[in-house]
Amino acid sequence: MTHSRITFGAWLRGRRAEKNQTQEQTAEAIGVGPKTLAGWEAERALPIKILDVIQVAEWASVEKEVVFELVAGDYKILLAEITTRAV
């Protein structure tokens, strides 16, 4: 993904670093598997369940809208890239 806004994965990595947690600790706190969290941070995947987004927001101590906007922004970029490739 080439763009100037912060991605969900980059934001999540930063928040985890601020909390000084391992991926395993963060995954457990959020309620997902370590491989899921690693995929999000590496920008290979995005949350697809609303509950996951809410749990990330609670873990990060931010309003859920913040996380929803990050994820939605990444989905918009992904859709634009897919659409461009299809043309």
- Cα 46 off chain centre by: 6
Distance, CA of 75 to CA of 67 (rounded, Å): 12
User: Rounded to two decimals, what is the model's pTM?
Assistant: 0.87
CATH of domain 8-86: 1.10.260.40
Domain ranges for the chain: 8-86
Q: Give residue-wise pLDDT tens across range 41-67.
A: 999 999 999 999 999 999 999 999 999
Q: Give residue-wise pLDDT tens across range 15-33.
A: 999 999 999 999 999 999 9
pLDDT exceeds cutoff 80 at 36: yes
